[in-house]
Each structure stands twice: as C-alpha cells, then as structure tokens.
Amino acid sequence: MMRIALGVTGGVAAYKAAELVRRLQQEQIEIQVVMTRSAQEFVAPLTFAALTGQKVITQLFGAEAPANVESAIEHIAVAQRIDALVIAPATADIIAKLARGVADDFLTTLYLATTAPVVVAPAMNVNMWEHAATRENVQILRDRGVRVIAPEEGYLACGMTGAGRLAGLEAIIEAVLEALRIRRDLEKETVLVTAGPTCEDLDPVRFLTNRSSGRMGYAVAEAAARRGARVVLISGPVALEAPAGVERVDVRTTEQMHRAVLANLDRATVVVMAAAVADYRPARPYANKLKRGTERLNIEFEPTADILADVSRRKGDRVLVGFAAETAQLAAHARSKLKEKAADLIVANDVTAPGAGFDHDTNIVTIFGSDGREQSLPKLTKIQVAHRILDEVVELRRSTHRVGSSPEAR
C-alpha cells in the first residue's frame, strides 16, 4: 500500500482536508496526518485520527509517534516511510518556510527530511496569493520540483473574490496519484503475475526452495491494480497479503504454478513472470523421511517445466516480461534469456548487490528490451521498480496497438 503524509495548515479550508483523506483512502492510500498548531484552531486532530485510524502528529517533540515508529527521530522515520508528502491546504506562511528552508515544526522539518515527491495546494486571501513574495516562493518550490496546484478563483472566506480558494479535490487527487506514479493506463488490460518461490519435495519433511520473498512480484501486482488492470497473481508460498483488488491463486510446486499459469493465460493481455521458480526437482522423492547416516547421499534431479518458454510459445500479441536473477555476467545472461524466451522485456538484477534481490524492500535492476534498448535503474523501492516496468509495458502496448486486445484476436 502506498503511504503519504498529509500536512494540514491553518486556514478555513482545513476542513476540506477531512474529505481529501476519505477520497485518498478510496485509492487504497495509507495516510499519516501532520497538523500545524494553527491548523488545530480550525479542525481538531481527533477528526483525522478517527478517519485514518492513526495518531495525528501535532508537534516536533512529544509522545505522539505512530505505534510502528520505534526508533530514529520521528520526522526522519516518517520521511523514510512515505511515498509522497502532500500539504493541503498550504498557507502563505508554510509556503514561505518551505521555500526558505525554515524548519521550526514537524511539517517543515519533514519537508526537509524527505526525498519523496511533494504536492502543495495553496489556499489564502487573494491579495496574499498575488503578493510578490508569495509568487516568488511558489516559483522557488516549482523550480525544485514541487507540484504546486494553483488555487481556484471564487468567493473567499474573507469576503473577497478572486484566486485563493483551495483547488478542487479532484485536481489535488490527480496530482497526488501522479506523484505516486499511479495512473489508470492499464484499465483495459488483464495482467497475469507470478511471484514468490516454488517448493520441490525431497521427502515428506524436507523440500528444496529459494530465498524469494515474493515482494517484487507482489509489487508488480499492486502497481498494475492501481493503474486499473485486472490482475491475476499466481503466488508461491510467501508471508504476504494479496494487494487490494487482486485475484490470488496459491500454488506450491513448479508444476502447480505451470498449470495455474496456463489455465489463466487465455484471459491475460500482459504476463509478468516474476516468480523465482525452481529449475530442478528430485527425480524420485522419498516416500518416507530420510534418516541421518554416515555415508554421502546422492540425489538425482530432473528439470522442472520451463514456464516462461511455454508461455512464450503461446504468446500471441501479449506483452511478455521475464525476470533474471543473476550472480555474474548479468547483461550476457539477460540478453540470452531475452532471445531464447522470445520475451518483450527481461528485468535483470544482481542478487548479490547491496540493496537488491531477495529479502529487501529495494531493488537495482536493468530492463532489457527486445528492441535492443537497455535501461539501468538506480536503487529504488520495489513498488517504484514495478511502476517503471509497467511504464515500459504501456509503451509496448501503445506502440504495437495491442491495448486491451481480446484473447480471440490472438
């Protein structure tokens, strides 16, 4: 689930932030509200606590840390866990502080501490909005990459008429979704995603598997669902909850995953094979538990089904994305796999690199395209990587006019 911090500052429009919270929650976004002292003069923190189910942060120092923030200075902890910072309404005072780097409360300190995208929705008196100082401060923020949503014109609380009313909720929500890289560009697609490890039994007690947590595949499923796709997630055994709105099919062995993929392939327009599938299994699993002995044990293995290859043979006009988890010669292996499997994209990563591969919330990947393009990404969160992969998928669908084509057309 995507997380944002919503900064609420002192102004009559503060009451509209409550409705903004509700609307953002409908987009499956988790919200941590941060209120300035002035904002509390207009809306009580209890309102936002009731809406979000989280304690509202109202001061820089105090015992108001969220329950899951156990270490680090609180504003740093919040800064590291959010995907975007949204300030609505934003007064002239807070805009000036942000522009000049003043950090005298939790919200302004959070702004300086976070590297996440920032969205600011001003609301103030028309003369304050049109003042040269405010104009200069807004331009400074825009030059830094902050998304500033211009206020609307209309009758203001002060009795004047002009620009200064908080922008409409739809405009704010659209900007937030854009900042989170949440788009609705997959609404006509059905995305089949595989995720997690598979397990191959050696005996009734032991099995062979790998270290895959399933986080990358689940991130792809979550990102695709947020972008409007119908998503079928075929998952090996993982300790993860299925993303909201995603149809999950649980499997355990490579053969089970193979059958599930082929059973759901006809309805898919995009296939993302992110699972870490076992390449071999014991040829003759033992019927009873193997007992410890003093001699060496020789076990014969046989190859499992090549799911990616079988999907490739049935590819049609689907977009096919494979993954390559490597420990050496990443580019060479990825290009070879791209050609052998006739995939549109191969997402390759060196699982030995710090911050990449298994058991991490981040990943470092290179995306190899069948057209020869290669895109090396910096270390990103897995949900960010997922969106970058889906950006490539969308471009492929558009460039080949395959958007939303039905299975019958293949």
Over the stretch 48-57, which tens digit does the pLDDT of each residue have? 999 999 999 9
Task: Provide the pLDDT for residue 248.
Answer: 98
Task: Provide the pLDDT for residue 63.
Answer: 47
φ, ψ of residue 277 to 5 degrees: the values are -80, 140
Q: 49, 50, 158, 263: which one is catalytic?
A: 158
Task: Provide the pLDDT for residue 355.
Answer: 80
pLDDT of 72 over the 70 cut: no
> Under a CB-based contact definition with an 8 Å cutoff, are residues 357 and 351 in contact?
yes
DSSP label of 197: B
Task: Provide the pLDDT for residue 157.
Answer: 64
pLDDT (tens digit per residue) in 156-203:
666 667 777 899 998 999 899 889 877 789 999 999 999 999 999 999
Strands (E) located in 44-146: 84-90, 118-122
φ, ψ of residue 266 to 5 degrees: the values are -60, -35
C-alpha span between 250 and 295 (Å, rounded): 38
* Ramachandran sector of residue 60 (left: φ over 0; alpha: ψ -120 to 50; beta: rest): alpha
pLDDT (tens digit per residue) in 226-260:
888 999 999 999 999 998 889 999 999 999 999 99
Q: Is 158 annotated in the active site?
A: yes
* Ramachandran sector of residue 27 (left: φ over 0; alpha: ψ -120 to 50; beta: rest): alpha
- Burial group, residue 154, by CB count within 10 angstroms (0-12, 13-18, 19+): exposed
pLDDT of 400 over the 80 cut: no
Task: Provide the pLDDT for residue 233.
Answer: 98
pLDDT of 410 over the 70 cut: no
> Under a CB-based contact definition with an 8 Å cutoff, are residues 215 and 241 in contact?
no
C-alpha span between 82 and 28 (Å, rounded): 14
C-alpha span between 306 and 262 (Å, rounded): 12
The domains of the chain are located at 2-179, 190-409
Q: Which CATH superfamily is domain 190-409 in?
A: CoaB-like (3.40.50.10300)
| SS3 per residue for 296-346 | CCCCCEEECCCHHHHHHHCCCCCEEEEEEEECCCHHHHHHHHHHHCCCCEE
Q: Which residues pair with 272 in a beta bridge?
A: 193, 321
* Crossing angle between the packed helical segments 92-100 and 132-143, to the nearest 10 degrees: 50
pLDDT of 403 over the 60 cut: no
Across the range 74-86, mean pLDDT stands at: 87
Q: Of 407 and 348, which is predicted with more confidence?
A: 348
Task: Provide the pLDDT for residue 129.
Answer: 95
CATH 3.40.30.10 correct for 2-179: no
pLDDT (tens digit per residue) in 219-234:
999 999 988 899 999 9
Residues 6+ apart with CB under 8 A from 268: 190, 191, 192, 232, 318
Helix (H) or strand (E) holding 29: strand 29-35
Q: Sorting pLDDT into bands at 50, 70 and 90, what band is 402?
A: low
Q: Sorting pLDDT into bands at 50, 70 and 90, what band is 408?
A: very low
Across the range 332-337, mean pLDDT stands at: 95
Across the range 294-321, mean pLDDT stands at: 95
Distance of CA 408 to the CA centre of its chain: 32
DSSP label of 57: B
Task: Provide the pLDDT for residue 404.
Answer: 54
Q: Of 275 and 74, which is predicted with more confidence?
A: 275
Task: Provide the pLDDT for residue 165.
Answer: 87
Domains 2-179 and 190-409 share a fold: yes
pLDDT (tens digit per residue) in 14-61:
999 999 999 999 887 999 999 999 999 999 999 999 999 999 999 887
Task: Provide the pLDDT for residue 68.
Answer: 44
DSSP label of 5: E
For residue 122, give the 3-state DSSP assignment. Answer: strand
Across the range 374-383, mean pLDDT stands at: 90
Task: Provide the pLDDT for residue 184.
Answer: 82
Strand bridging mode 161-165 / 152-155: antiparallel
The structure tokens 């840390």 sit at 65
Task: Provide the pLDDT for residue 266.
Answer: 97
Closest CA to 225 of 276, 262, 255, 270: 270
> Under a CB-based contact definition with an 8 Å cutoff, are residues 313 and 284 in contact?
no
C-alpha span between 71 and 199 (Å, rounded): 36
Number of CB atoms found within 10 A of residue 376's CB: 11
Number of CB atoms found within 10 A of residue 37's CB: 12
pLDDT (tens digit per residue) in 108-121:
999 999 999 999 99
